[in-house]
Copies of this chain bind each other. A is one copy, B any other.
Amino acid sequence: MEIINIRRSVRSYSNKPVEKEKVELLLRAAMQAPSARNQQPWHFIVVDDEETLQALATVSRNVQMLKEAPLAIIVLIDSESLTAPLMAPQDASAATQNILLKAVDLDLGTCWCGVYPREERMEALASILNVPDRFQVFSLIAVGYPKDKAANRFVDRFDPARVHYNKF
């Protein structure tokens, strides 16, 4: 379970495409996320078309790495399927995090690009990807083989000052 400890944000990728089988494993991991009342609010758009990737890369500064990424996965929330609507962004976050972790297991690098709740980003991405109104664009994940093979590596992030016992 070193996966959790070595996951880093990877923004530079080799040319190697991501295998279809691996994409399915990432999506399977995403759909194993917990969700409030088991509402499973998620849909996913897998983008490997070069022209679409370049269009997505123009949307905001934080998705620049799509200029060289071979793949992006966009996580959507189906706003008409919700039984616990306030919790849907947390469900979609858990699905996003599962993708990041599974990617490490598959020797891939990822970068979680925040989209929701920034309307300008949500609308720009929805427009490029023909997303129907009932769906909200939640996050965008750049995926690829890291140019630097040691990109996923352990960094100690533990800070005992952040931990409190029984009361704050």
Contacts and interface: CB of A to CB of B under 8 A. Distances in A.
B163 A27 contact: yes
Interface string A31-48: 111101000101111111
B166 A49 contact: yes
A93 B34 CA distance: 11
B114 A159 contact: no
Given A4-B102, A102-B1, A166 B48 contact: yes
Contact of A168 (B98, B129, B164): B129
- The residue among A42, A48, A101 with the most chain B CB atoms within 10 A of its own CB is A101
B131 A168 contact: yes
Contacts of A47: 165-166
State the copy count for this chain. 2
A56 to B, nearest CB: 11
Given A130-B168, A157-B40, A166-B45, A89 B86 contact: no
Interface residues on A, range: 35 or more
A168 B44 CA distance: 9
Contacts of A40: 157, 159
A32 B157 contact: yes
A105 interface: yes
A146 to B, nearest CB: 15
A28 interface: yes
A97 B93 contact: yes
Contacts of A14: none
10 contacts: A1-B105, A5-B29, A9-B34, A28-B157, A31-B157, A40-B157, A44-B162, A44-B164, A52-B167, A94-B94
